[in-house]
Amino acid sequence: MSKRKSTTLQDSSAKKKSAANFKTEWLSELVETDTPTTKTKAPTKLGDIFTYRSKSDDVVCLYCKDAHASGDFATGKRWDDWKIDYLKRHVTQKSHPDSVSTLRLQKNRRFAQTTKRECR
Ligand SMILES: [Zn+2]
């Protein structure tokens, strides 16, 4: 008898555009972006760029954190209303590609040292 009522309730909540909570399935979404390990833009999982910390309910951009960039994403960014667009937008903001190029430089330097040792 009450079956019909609960179905209607579910339908209306599914239509909500923004989520009140971070959704871990967002981390499996692919974005076309620069990464420290690629030379050009490559499809990258959001989970390879961002990590969600449920304890503090915030998101950290691993590239910005590793590059010691300034900004909320390097230390932990949080919203009251979560949207996957916020994560996708961050990778196009200037501070993020800056972090990527910083890490690329660091990696190249480390790689040069390693090859030197190997070919000794
Ligand atoms: Zn970033």
Q: Is the pLDDT of residue 105 over 50?
A: yes
The 10s digit of each residue's pLDDT in 33-78 is: 999 998 889 999 999 999 999 999 999 999 999 999 999 999 999 9
Sign of the CA dihedral with 17 first, then 34, 90, and 73 last = positive
Token pair listed for 30: 């692919």
Ligand 1 centroid to 87 CA: how many Å? Answer: 9
- What Cα–Cα distance (Å) separates residue 37 from each residue in 29, 41, 74, 101, 107? 19, 10, 19, 10, 8
The 10s digit of each residue's pLDDT in 18-36 is: 667 899 999 999 999 999 9
Ligand 1 centroid to 76 CA: how many Å? Answer: 11
Q: Tell me what pLDDT residue 7 has.
A: 47
Q: pTM for the complete prediction?
A: 0.76
Q: How far is 78 from 100, CA to CA, in rounded Å?
A: 22
Q: Is the pLDDT of residue 118 over 90?
A: no
On the 0-12 / 13-18 / 19+ scale of CB atoms within 10 A, 7 is exposed
